[in-house]
Amino acid sequence: MLPLAGIRVIELGQNLAGPFASEILGTLGAHVVKVERPEGDDARGWGPPFHDGAACTFQTMNRGKQSIALDLKNPKALDWLREHIGEYDVLVQNLRPGVMEKMGLSAEVLRAKYPKLIYCSLWAFGAKGPMKLNPGYEPVIQAFAGMFSVNGAAGEKPSRFGAQVLDLGTGVWAALGCLAALYRRAQTGEGATVDASLFETAMGWLTVHFAGFNKTGVQAERHRTGNPRVVVFQAFDTLDGEIVIAAANDRLFAKLAKELGHPEWAQQYPTNADRYAAKPTLIPALAEVIATCPTAEWVQRLEALDIPCSPINDLRGVAAEPQTEAMGIFQEPPGLGLKLVGLPISLDGARPTARSKAPTIGQHNAELGVPSFD
């Protein structure tokens, strides 16, 4: 039995962060009902590509859920929803800041009415402060929080992280907060208000950068593939491509130096601090040797020495890797005909799977007893 079996979640979510939080809970066993506008979640149209009537983005964020369509501008529909929220253990919402309050569905109102309710909000900038009511999307918050400033190559313009690290990361934090609140409720019978935001997630991802900045006041350097503190920890050109080498401690560097035909480097640069100081000359010297052999040869040689390394894969390369197959990370929800990345966690050696594909708009109105409000 999945750990959240019996838990009921109602989602007033859109786009990515909120839907991902409730999808995590659903894949772990909770029954999730998604409340959509009659025209549906905007993410249904976030394509191409599209599959089974909706964008692939929507398919991967909303598998395993039921959908009810409600026009919450209609007072009768809003009253119906307000009276039925008490049937759920968790409410997850990431509507535009202020909307839930205008509808009389704030945490204060609903938790007063339903004391056991766990009310989870996902914000752009946070649950308080002068920007509380500001809307925001992934690239806006990445820019605001300083993530652009540490990404990209030195000497070039800052760049965005390519994956939705804030949307999905905030979904993870929100789900974690809900789990903690459920645990506390099991002990006390008391609900909770859980808040997470894209801005806080960004600050969390930058915790190491800010530790250095708060110590020195110096902006972290940007490295296309490397690390501002650890040497050797970056990509190098090979004879036919690139390889990332992470000789991140003194022992690994000594092995690398010997394999590259320069064992004396281990004596010249015995510590990371030594290698960091010598980086302007050491990295070019390493690069000169590494450029003489093909990527596959370096991977074979370095893996034999247990030196962490990898070619720079594209998505096709990752999908074809035997490790990807062995982990069973791709899953196909029933009836969808599309492989999606599963939840990145296993329980007792098995990865939880979505029990159904993403719903159509209002697919479960009749099943869940939603009346017509015409």
- Matching CATH number, 8-205+329-341, of 3.30.2270.10, 1.10.1040.10, 3.40.50.10540, 3.40.50.1820: 3.40.50.10540
Q: Which of 23, 58, 7 is nearest to 352 (CA)?
A: 23
DSSP codes, 236-271: EE-SSSEEEEE--SHHHHHHHHHHTT-THHHHHS-S
Catalytic residue among 71, 167, 250, 348: 167
Give how far Cα 337 sits from Cα of 300, 333, 358, Å: 36, 8, 12
Within 13 Å of residue 81, how many CA atoms lie on the same side as its CB? Answer: 27
Residue 252: per-residue pLDDT: 96
Residue 365's pLDDT band, with cuts at 50, 70 and 90, is very high
Residue 340: per-residue pLDDT: 95
**Average per-residue pLDDT for the chain:** 95
The pLDDT tens digits for 180-202 are: 999 999 999 999 999 999 999 99
Domain locations in the chain as residue ranges: 8-205+329-341, 233-311
Task: Tell whether the model's pLDDT for residue 374 goes beyond 80.
Answer: no
306 included as an active-site residue = no
Q: What's the pTM value of the predicted model, to 2 decimals?
A: 0.92
Q: At what angle do helices 165-188 and 17-27 cross, to 10 degrees?
A: 50
Q: Which of 227, 234, 218 is nearest to 151 (CA)?
A: 227
The Cα diameter of the chain in Å comes to 82
Same fold for the domain at 8-205+329-341 and the one at 233-311? Answer: no
The pLDDT tens digits for 98-140 are: 999 999 999 999 999 999 999 999 999 999 999 999 999 999 9
Task: Tell whether the model's pLDDT for residue 219 goes beyond 90.
Answer: no
Q: Which of 10, 4, 21 is nearest to 196 (CA)?
A: 21
CATH code linked to domain 233-311: 3.30.1540.10
> Percent of the chain at pLDDT above 70?
100
Task: Tell whether the model's pLDDT for residue 303 goes beyond 80.
Answer: yes
Residue 109: per-residue pLDDT: 97
Residue 373: per-residue pLDDT: 83
Residue with tokens 């015409």: 374
- H-type alpha helices, the chain: 17-27, 56-61, 75-84, 99-102, 107-113, 138-144, 165-188, 198-205, 207-216, 250-259, 264-268, 272-277, 279-290, 295-304, 315-320, 322-327
Q: Which of 231, 228, 264, 235 is nearest to 250 (CA)?
A: 231
Q: What SS3 class is residue 368?
A: coil
